[in-house]
Amino acid sequence: MMLGMVASQGLLWNPADKDPNVVVSNGGRTFTAEALGSVRNTTSRSTGRWYYEVVVDVFVPISGLISFGIGTSAANLEALPGAADAFAWGYRGNGVVDNAGSGVASYASFVAGDIISVAFDLTSATKKLWFAKNGTWQSGNPGALTGGITISTGAYFAMAGGSGAEPNDPQATARPSLVFPMPSGFQAL
């Protein structure tokens, strides 16, 4: 089964910055994992408050893995974001948030059809990361800069990762705009 997601707004997955098991299509908007691998978006951010959404198009939890988050240029693309090193954080389909190969938080699980939102603050003294499922923030409120996961200073890319096996090809629909309101003070990637 293959796993696919469509990015929102200006977010584009980078076909030159991915694991060989990842296919980038639909003008850079769709990510598909044919086997274990990750991809970064095209531009990193080291300051500011940023937000993006991804639509989970295909995901079968019994036989596949999927994860969304952020990572630096040093993050391992041969694994899910955060599953292998301290350079990335990723929110997996089973609800676990990974960093440095360990679960650092446990949130609601997600499936095909869900929309995952990622917000990260690289401006405040304490850098933070938040995840939402279908518009519900899983810890705190990024608009109020409460809760969230503390992250290190760095230049971060949006990241997506997954692992699947044939024969289920992804079905993806690009969305031209965000589905949920962006947190106050944040910008879309």
Q: When comparing pLDDT for 165 and 162, which is higher? A: 162
User: In the prediction, which pLDDT does 98 show?
Assistant: 97
User: In the prediction, which pLDDT does 172 show?
Assistant: 33
Tens digit of pLDDT for each residue in 66-101? 899 999 999 999 999 999 999 999 999 899 999 999
Helix (H, G, I), strand (E, B) or coil at 26: helix
Q: How many CB atoms lie within 10 A of CB 132?
A: 23
Average pLDDT over residues 117-122: 96
* Residue-number span of the structural domain to which 172 is assigned: 3-188
By C-alpha distance, which of 34, 40, 151 is closest to 97?
Answer: 151
Judge contact between 96 and 36, C-beta under 8 A. no
User: In the prediction, which pLDDT does 80 show?
Assistant: 93
User: In the prediction, which pLDDT does 62 show?
Assistant: 57
Judge contact between 19 and 77, C-beta under 8 A. yes
User: In the prediction, which pLDDT does 173 show?
Assistant: 31
Determine the distance from the C-alpha atom of residue 162 to the mean position of all C-alpha atoms in its chain, rounded to a whole number.
10
Helix (H, G, I), strand (E, B) or coil at 129: strand
Q: Above 60 in pLDDT, residue 176?
A: no
User: In the prediction, which pLDDT does 3 show?
Assistant: 55
Q: How many CB atoms lie within 10 A of CB 63?
A: 11
Structure tokens at 2: 């293959």
How much of the chain, in percent, has pLDDT values that exceed 70?
86
**Burial class of residue 167, CB neighbours in 10 A (0-12, 13-18, 19+):** exposed
Q: Above 70 in pLDDT, residue 179?
A: yes
65/161 Cα distance (integer angstroms): 8
User: In the prediction, which pLDDT does 171 show?
Assistant: 30
Mean residue pLDDT of the chain comes to 87
User: In the prediction, which pLDDT does 4 show?
Assistant: 56
Q: Above 60 in pLDDT, residue 155?
A: yes
Instruction: Say how many domains are in the chain.
Output: 1
Domain with residue 109: its CATH number is: 2.60.120.920
Structure tokens at 131: 């995840």
Average pLDDT over residues 151-173: 73
Judge contact between 158 and 120, C-beta under 8 A. no
43/130 Cα distance (integer angstroms): 19
Q: When comparing pLDDT for 173 and 50, which is higher? A: 50
